[in-house]
Amino acid sequence: MIDAKEYLKKMSAELDGPIKSYIGDEEPKNLMDSSKQYPYAGGKRMRPAMAVACCRAVGGDASKAVPLAVAIEYIHNFTLIHDDLMDGDEVRRGMPTIHVGYGMPTAILAGDALFAKAFQIICGLDIPAERMRDVLDYVSTAVWDLARGQQMDVNNERHIVTEDVYIETIKLKTSVLFAAAAAGGAIVGGADEKTVRAINEYALELGLGFQMFDDYLGIAGDSAKTGKSVGNDIRKGKCTCMVTHAIRSIKDPAVLEEFKSILGNIDATDEQCIRAKQIMQDAGSIDYALDLARKKVDIAISKIEDLPESEDKEFMIALAKYAINREV
């Protein structure tokens, strides 16, 4: 069985050079430096690895998927730059965020620049123009959806939404880019439409599981590893499927009242946040979320069962499991 984390590390090392090769020494220097900072600093590289693996899993030439992998990673990092600015986050990957290091205008422009560069790279893919058009369709739609998902995420803060709205939100803000990476890789690899669709669905479900688990880590993870305190999401009033489950499951009105009074309270004490977590635990909400994430990953894996056996298919399965079995 492939160790997804090790395999990711290996692929990440191979992708490092290409990721650092598309932004040159053009003027102005502060825009180039700020655009490079996040993609150069690393990260899990799950999305680009997925693009390459999906290309190879359908029998394609991985080297042709590498530029697409870079483009997807740039898009991911463009959203991180803009996200950090919107959220007022000050540190990422051990460095000041772009708006802190370079100011707000440069953070906006560095994001825009990475976005534009991604489409320049897709334009230059070494595949027939018809196929490039199919890739562009997936990726441009993904970015449109991403903006919608991020806006829904902003709108949901301090609002209790239904589980359906939560799932739609994380699908748009997280899954669609995974899905574009995977489907794009398969298209570059020459897959037929049915296979592209199956791989797209695999990544959509994987993305849901990934984000559910991410939300779980935000509450139940080791804060020394995740870099987030347990109170972060609770004080922000982030409406996850743990919260939606708790709201509909807590039987005691006094406890429900207490839970609601802590959620979204920016001044909540650490003790109150721990209490809110305990209330969710007692209501079975944390187990429920983990279970839901597992189900999504099971569906993801089922979507690609018709793919021929290969090391890359094995990695795709291992990656889906890793999405809900990681410390950070």
Where does residue 236 fall: left (phi above 0), alpha (psi -120 to 50 degrees), or beta otherwise? Answer: alpha
Among 133, 116, 151, residue whose Cα is nearest residue 35? 116
Question: Out of 13, 91, 95, 123, which residue is the one contacting its own copies (CB under 8 A)?
Answer: 123
Contact characters 6-45, its own copies, x per CB under 8 A? --------------------xxx-xx--------------
Q: How far apart are CA 191 and CA 279, in angstroms?
A: 48
Cβ-based burial of 239 (10 A; exposed 0-12, middle 13-18, buried ≥19): buried
Q: Give the residue with the Cβ less far from its own copies, 78 or 213.
A: 78
Q: Give the residue with the Cβ less far from its own copies, 150 or 272.
A: 150
167 touching its own copies, by CB under 8 A? no
- Please give the residues from 73 up to 92 whose contact with its own copies meets the rule CB under 8 A: 82, 85-86
- Residue 86 Cβ, how far from its own copies at the closest point, in Å? 4
Q: How many residues bind its own copies (CB under 8 A)?
A: 45
111 touching its own copies, by CB under 8 A? yes
Burial 177-204 (b: 16+ CB within 10 A, else e): bbbbbbbbbbbbbbbeeebbebbbbbbb
Can you read off the two tokens belonging to residue 196?
């592209």
Q: Give the residue with the Cβ less far from its own copies, 176 or 323.
A: 176
Question: Out of 12, 43, 101, 140, which residue is the one contacting its own copies (CB under 8 A)?
Answer: 140
Only segment of 10-18, 51-59, 116-124, 214-222 that touches its own copies (CB under 8 A): 116-124
Q: List interacting residues with its own copies (CB under 8 A).
A: 26-28, 30-31, 82, 85-86, 104-106, 108-113, 115-117, 119-120, 122-124, 128-130, 132-133, 136-137, 140-141, 143-144, 146-148, 150-152, 154-155, 168
